[in-house]
Structure 1
Amino acid sequence: MKNLNRIGLEIEKSNELVGQLSDLLSNYSVFYQNVRGYHWNIKGDNFFELHIKFEELYDDLVLKIDEIAERILTLGSEPENRYSVYLSQSVIKEATDLTNGKVAVQDILDSFKVLLIKQRTIMDFADEMGDEGTNALMSDYIREQEKLIWMYSAYLKQ
């Protein structure tokens, strides 16, 4: 029992999972800020449509950021809050072209791909260690994001 954390999971494996979730938190945080930038700065023919879609997306992302941080706390660790650390860890980089709708949507698709790969890895590891809470969270995110990829791809006619 000494090698188990307060929710009954192995401490060593939980710490490894926290590392993966921390990396995911960094990627989500940079992605969130990129989408906020698209929302604020989008221009062109599809302004009204994309402005609303980007707001819907960043509202969802901020909820996921909070859930990931709370999962890290549940596993017995503390989530990182420094943006400088997020930027150094994240595969998703800060967006620079914030006004072009097609570029923004393609960047969103690329960012979802990064998140999906990371989430599947986390889900598999959580499953191996018997962590249904993290597993269910990742499964929900994957299902939602796969549908969003279909929708954003349809917008780009891909």
Structure 2
Amino acid sequence: MDLIITSTIAINTDIAFNTAGKAKDAKVKIENETKLKVELKVGIKIKGEAAIVIIKVKAYFEASASAEASVTYAHTINYDEKGLYYRPKLGFDGMDAEYIVKISASLAMKIAKDKKSIEENREGDYKIAEGKIKEVIPPFDVIKELEELFNIDANIPIIKN
């Protein structure tokens, strides 16, 4: 089993200021966005072998699956004609999954007939199932969902103009 956790941080600024203009024309926006990604990989492998006199059978079974999901959270401070306000961001970026199921088998036979020895080997790899499932859990914006649910605005005023 493998658990992989990664994080990405991005900071963005946007400033518009004119010393000859009016204060309401000034705009400042500072954003900080962090993405936390968690990936889990799980697999199982089973080997087996049986020998019966002159027939030998080997089998190998493998099944594995992995899932990947991430959460994005951010902070924005924005100044415009309305004033200075803070807006949080929290979103689930969805979860995707992959799976594969394989079997490998071999059969070895040795037959002695009329003083002649005949050997035969058969081998094969077979994929029983393989695929990717996109959006096992679909992405959604937590802040937007809360705004709609409670009929509120998530912008938090710090200074009003």
Range class of TM-score, shorter chain:
under 0.3
Task: Pick the structure with more strand per residue.
Answer: 2
TM-score by length of 1: 0.22
Larger Rg: 2
Task: Pick the structure with more helix per residue.
Answer: 1
Higher relative contact order (CA 8 A, sep 6+): 1
TM-score by length of 2: 0.22
